[in-house]
């Protein structure tokens, strides 16, 4: 069977990709942020995953407000990076793990999830940025295949935190029942705290961010119990993206080891960072 080797939660701020494209990685404003990911990149290089399941939200690029699925699953053989207005990025296309993706689709429906099935779709910074933060920028090809899972965190009503946790449980069981021998890592992306509009535009809650990074591994139940309104109040309207980290955490065992954490603020108009988790029995 396939093996889940780890879970990683990370920000997916679009300006991160722009900074990398413009050669700003080692400038004073960006170097502390990027350096915090070096240990995670080393862990991934040693662990050698075969497939990355990436849970993220589209930002009005592949979907727009006239048609926003609550949950969508990519089952394509290849995903092209979408142009978000800065021009095509100099990164390779993402190769899809189509066979595993179809297995996930079947298992989701069996467990009463009803994802929109995407046989052809492009992916924006919600997937591009986490992949580059974790795996670096390859010259020819990414070292893993991907399964993209799109979650609506843009247009209300968005899913509840508990529903994303349940999605994680489905992913865990689906990976365990897959007959292949692939090593799988799950990336839950989004956040941390930020709000881009309204009277709280520019809002960042650094203490809540630091608590989240410290507690999502050992004490996730507190975040499962929060309402959607709690997320918005605590982390900002766009900070509610953090519910996607719960899908990653829900796929892990009850007891996990926090391998490493990183936090930096502000990155653009957000708190940003990551956490890397392993199952204690791994």
What are the sequence ranges of the domains in the chain? 3-279
* CATH number belonging to domain 3-279: 3.40.830.10
CB-CB neighbours of 85 under 10 Å: 7
**Sign of the C-alpha dihedral computed for residues 45, 11, 6 and 213 taken in this order:** positive
Please tell me the predicted confidence (pLDDT) of residue 155. Answer: 92
Q: pTM for the full model?
A: 0.96
Catalytic residue list contains 59? no
Note whether 41 and 144 are within 8 A (CB): no
Please tell me the predicted confidence (pLDDT) of residue 267. Answer: 87
Please tell me the predicted confidence (pLDDT) of residue 282. Answer: 62
Q: How far apart are CA 8 and CA 275, in angstroms?
A: 6
Q: How far apart are CA 62 and CA 125, in angstroms?
A: 11
CB neighbour list of residue 134: distance below 8 Å, 6 or more residues apart:
8, 10, 37, 40, 41, 44, 52, 187
Set 12, 59, 112, 125: catalytic member:
125
Set 12, 59, 103, 194: catalytic member:
194
Per-residue pLDDT of the chain (282 residues; tens, 9 = 90+): 799 999 999 999 888 999 999 999 999 999 999 999 999 999 999 999 999 999 999 999 999 989 999 999 999 999 999 988 878 888 999 999 999 999 999 999 999 999 999 999 999 999 999 999 999 999 899 999 999 999 999 999 999 999 999 999 999 999 999 999 999 999 999 989 989 888 898 889 999 999 999 999 999 999 999 999 999 999 999 889 999 999 999 999 999 999 999 999 988 888 999 999 999 876
Q: What Rg, from alpha-carbon coordinates, does the chain have?
A: 17
Please tell me the predicted confidence (pLDDT) of residue 268. Answer: 84
Most distant pair of Cα atoms in the chain: their distance: 51
Q: How far apart are CA 267 and CA 74, in angstroms?
A: 29
Catalytic residue list contains 125? yes
């Amino acid at each position: 069977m396939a093996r889940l080797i780890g879970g990683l939660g990370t920000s997916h701020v679009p300006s991160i990709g722009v900074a990398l494209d413009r050669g700003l990685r080692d400038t004073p404003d960006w170097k502390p942020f990027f350096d915090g990911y070096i240990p995670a990149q080393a862990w991934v290089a040693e662990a050698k995953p075969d497939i990355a399941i990436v849970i993220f939200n589209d930002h009005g690029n592949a979907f727009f407000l006239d048609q926003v699925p609550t949950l969508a699953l990519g089952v394509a053989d290849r995903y092209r990076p979408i142009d978000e207005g800065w021009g095509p990025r100099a990164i390779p296309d993402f190769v899809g793990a189509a066979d595993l993706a179809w297995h996930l689709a079947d298992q989701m429906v069996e467990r009463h999830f009803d994802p929109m099935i995407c046989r052809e779709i492009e992916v924006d910074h919600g997937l591009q940025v986490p992949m580059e933060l974790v795996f670096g920028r390859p010259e020819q090809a990414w070292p893993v295949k991907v399964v993209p899972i799109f979650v609506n965190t843009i247009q209300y009503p968005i899913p509840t935190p508990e529903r994303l946790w349940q999605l994680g449980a489905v992913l865990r069981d689906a990976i365990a029942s897959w007959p292949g021998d692939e090593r799988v890592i799950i990336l839950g992306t989004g956040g941390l705290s930020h709000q881009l509009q309204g009277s709280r535009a520019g809002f960042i809650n650094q203490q809540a961010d630091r608590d989240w990074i410290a507690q999502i591994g050992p004490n996730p139940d507190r975040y499962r119990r929060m309402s959607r309104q709690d997320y918005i109040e605590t982390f900002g309207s766009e900070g509610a993206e953090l519910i996607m980290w719960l899908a990653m955490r829900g796929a892990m065992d009850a007891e996990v080891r926090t391998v490493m954490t990183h936090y930096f603020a502000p990155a653009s108009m957000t708190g940003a960072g990551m956490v890397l988790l392993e199952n204690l029995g791994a």
